[in-house]
Amino acid sequence: MKDIILTGDRPTGNLHLGHFIGSLKKRIELQNEGNYEKYYIMIADTQALTDNAQRVDKVKNNIIQVAIDYISAGIDPKKVNIFIQSMVSELHEFTSYFMNLVTLSRLQRNPTIKEEIKQRGFETSLPIGFINYPISQAADILAFGTTIAPVGGDQMPMFEQAREIVNSFNNTYKPQEEVFVMPKAIVSENKLFQRLPGLDGKLKMSKSAGNSIYLCDDEATVREKVMKAYTDANHLKVTDPGQIEGNVVFTYLDAFCREEHFARFLPEYENLDQLKEHYRRGGLGDVKVKKFLVNVLEDFLAPIRERRKECLNHIDEIYNMLFENSRLASIDAKERLEKMKDAMGLNYKKFLK
């Protein structure tokens, strides 16, 4: 059986390099392999509202931004159904019934939620919708029969939760035929790429930490950000030996640079290993490495920027595509919703003679 792929992002800001390396790259690969039955990418506005209830405008305005980021990064809306979560109302029904299968303490143990509660200062005033979002996300995943989901490493606990709900549903309602499929998250094997570090070298790259390079940043911005990026605090003089581990400039090179970049931008070296070796030994300055990184990133970002410009001339078409795709996604979700209710015995029409 071919895969059903579903993944998504919250529309709270533009996508950055962390999104690209963490999952977008894999999403594009899966799209181009073409070995799937259905492929959905959800713009998770409902989930974004769980910690942005007062900022509806921000969420609303970012829907088109995220859609443009997808398309300019290489997602083809002809091959992938990009839809808006809140326009698929069936998802709320799944969520309601799943909520009876999960305990509050289970949600409180979710490591991603735990961290997010801290980040947001929600310890003393936790919105129910927020702590509940792993259940709502399980609905997103299970409603479509998702088999695989290319996501960032922080999403693993959400898939564990979704699998637990499948088991719990099966134990509780003992469906005669399979209703829900066990989903699997696909994450980068490289731990660093699962959560690409931010420019500060401390936290992962994230919108809220203000330490990100965005897919839509212009060249001057990219340059400025890279020049300020954290390298090695003990590498003060060019002659000092430098450290690669924890040095974000090298981490970004690991993620983005290819051998051909050396021939084009830094022909004194053949490859990244040689460059690293020189840095470790001493005698290689940060500025030189950073300038190289700017070139490498520009090679990647310039075509994305061009496609973004193109998209900006087709905003209406992109909105119409999102609306139509949401309508189609809704039809797909409805099918499984009926199966679920049948399995639960919520089929009152059977009382009719």
**Of the two residues 6 and 296, which places its CB atom closer to ligand TRP in the complex?**
6
Between 9 and 332, name the residue whose CB sits nearer to ligand TRP: 9
Distance CA 74, CA 28 (A): 6
Q: Greatest CA span in the chain, whole angstroms?
A: 89
Helix (H) or strand (E) holding 140: helix 133-143
CB of 202 to ligand TRP, least distance (A): 20
Q: How far is the CB of 155 from ligand TRP (least distance, A)?
A: 6
Residues 6+ apart with CB under 8 A from 299: 261, 264
Closest CA to 75 of 31, 16, 129: 31
Nearer to ligand TRP, 41 or 253 (CB): 41
| 48/11 Cα distance (integer angstroms) | 6
- With a CB cutoff of 8 Å and minimum separation 6, the contacts of 38 are 4, 5, 81, 144, 332
d(CA 46, CA 44): 6
CA–CA distances in Å: residue 85 to residues 10, 45, 103, 328, 329 = 10, 6, 24, 12, 9
Question: Please, what is the minimum distance in Å from the beta carbon of residue 76 to ligand TRP?
Answer: 19
User: 110 vs 231, which CB is nearer to ligand TRP?
Assistant: 110
Q: Which residues bind ligand TRP (CB under 6 A)?
A: 6-10, 42, 44, 47, 137, 140-141, 149, 151, 155
Query: Which residue's CB is nearer to ligand TRP, number 44 or number 49?
Result: 44
- Helix (H) or strand (E) holding 150, with range, is strand 148-150
- Cα of first residue to Cα of last residue in the chain, in angstroms, is 38
Taking the C-alpha atoms of residue 83 and residue 328, their distance in angstroms, rounded to an integer, is 9
Q: In this complex, which beta carbon is closest to ligand TRP, that of residue 141 or of residue 297? A: 141
Q: 111 burial class (0-12, 13-18, 19+ CB within 10 angstroms)?
A: exposed
Looking at beta carbons only, is 80 or 229 nearer to ligand TRP?
A: 80
- Smallest distance from ligand TRP to CB 205, Å: 13
3-state secondary structure of 78: coil
Are the C-beta atoms of residues 64 and 82 closer than 8 Å to each other? no
**Which residue number, 40 or 292, has a Cβ lying nearer to ligand TRP?**
40
